[in-house]
Structure 1
Amino acid sequence: MNIHIGQGDIAERIRSIVADLRSLEGPLLPILHEVQDQFGYVPREALPVIADELNLSRAEVHGVVTFYHDYRDHPAGRHVLKLCRAEACQSMGGDALAERIKVLLGIDFHQTTLDGGVTLEPVYCLGLCACAPAAMFDGEVHGRVDDELAAELVEEARR
């Protein structure tokens, strides 16, 4: 659902999030996570508001958002499929798995299918190294992903 949100509305919502979380030690990451949870991504307009509210430079906030792969600068699809790109998963067929999934979905990493159904993202370690290759579908981790499970995940995402 795409709802047009004016810049004033964004700033107001961001200030409310910051007010709720600013008392945490190291509040920037929790604030960015909450912004993404509420908007589905971290709007560019949010960065100067967060910087101002936390007395940080815009460059500091931008640097954090661009450093961590979990933060998006645009809305994701209805489902998010993350594929582990770390060395253990690569050594267990992760590269071939990624190529198969890209073909099945018709997209590359950091893209969303035309119907808005699935966003494909790389992730650098899901902590399932002993069960490589690994994937995460809508927050649920899957280990030992083979062709069959990959096809099932893609089919589930298309529903």
Structure 2
Amino acid sequence: MNHADRIRDILDLFGPGPGQDQLLPVLHALQDQLGYVPPESVDLIAQGFNLSRAEVHGVVTFYHFFRTTPPARCTVQICRAESCQSMGSDALLAHAEGRLGCGLHQHSLDGAFALEPVYCLGQCATSPTIMINNAVHARVTPARFDALLASATEAV
């Protein structure tokens, strides 16, 4: 099934001529299925909601949650909140950048990894905290980071 068919199927789930209050749920559903919101989907979504392309594009680009490019196979998020920084997340970030070969908001050259900041994972008592592919890990040292990364890449 191609992207256009999936987009139409998602729009159909929300009924004929979904209300504008359903735009975010449709975008979330699309990203859940495809991993991102393809730029070519904006036309179909705009038509389905009777909106302009600019209005849909504005929503997609306003919310940092939505991606417009395919995601990496493995997403690493490092907490940048004060508690984690005070417990060594800056050093952990530097280690991660070296291991992954990319900085924050970037993908590794092979596209396998993405490194993203996150601002509080709610694990302040067990800082520093990271998330790898939606799994939270606390009290992460550089050595533990390497082990978690190796485990995560085996699972992918």
Q: Same fold (TM over 0.5)?
A: yes
Higher Cα Rg, which structure: 2
In the alignment, the residues of structure 1 paired with residue 50 and residue 40 of structure 2 have an alpha-carbon distance, to the nearest angstrom, of 16
Q: Deviations over 1:89-125 (max 9, x none)?
A: 2333222211110101111223333333222222233
1:150–1:51 distance in 2 versus 1, CA, 3 Å: same
In the alignment, the residues of structure 2 paired with residue 131 and residue 65 of structure 1 have an alpha-carbon distance, to the nearest angstrom, of 34
* 1:2-151 matches, cutoff 5 A: 9-21=2-14, 26-151=21-146
In the alignment, the residues of structure 1 paired with residue 59 and residue 86 of structure 2 have an alpha-carbon distance, to the nearest angstrom, of 30
Letter in 2 for 1:40: G
Letter in 2 for 1:19: D
Q: Which blocks of at least 5 consecutive residues in structure 1 are unaligned?
A: none
Once the two structures are TM-superposed, the CA of residue 31 in structure 1 deviates from its matched residue by 1.7
RMSD of aligned Cα (Å)? 2.5
In the alignment, the residues of structure 2 paired with residue 143 and residue 12 of structure 1 have an alpha-carbon distance, to the nearest angstrom, of 41
Q: TM-score, normalised by structure 1?
A: 0.78
Once the two structures are TM-superposed, the CA of residue 24 in structure 1 deviates from its matched residue by 8.7
Q: Which blocks of at least 5 consecutive residues in structure 2 are unaligned?
A: none
Q: Is the 8 A contact 1:85 1:94 kept in 2?
A: yes
SS of residue matched to 1:27: helix
Task: Tell me how many residue pairs correspond in the alignment.
Answer: 152
Q: Deviations over 1:138-158 (max 9, x none)?
A: 111112222222121222244
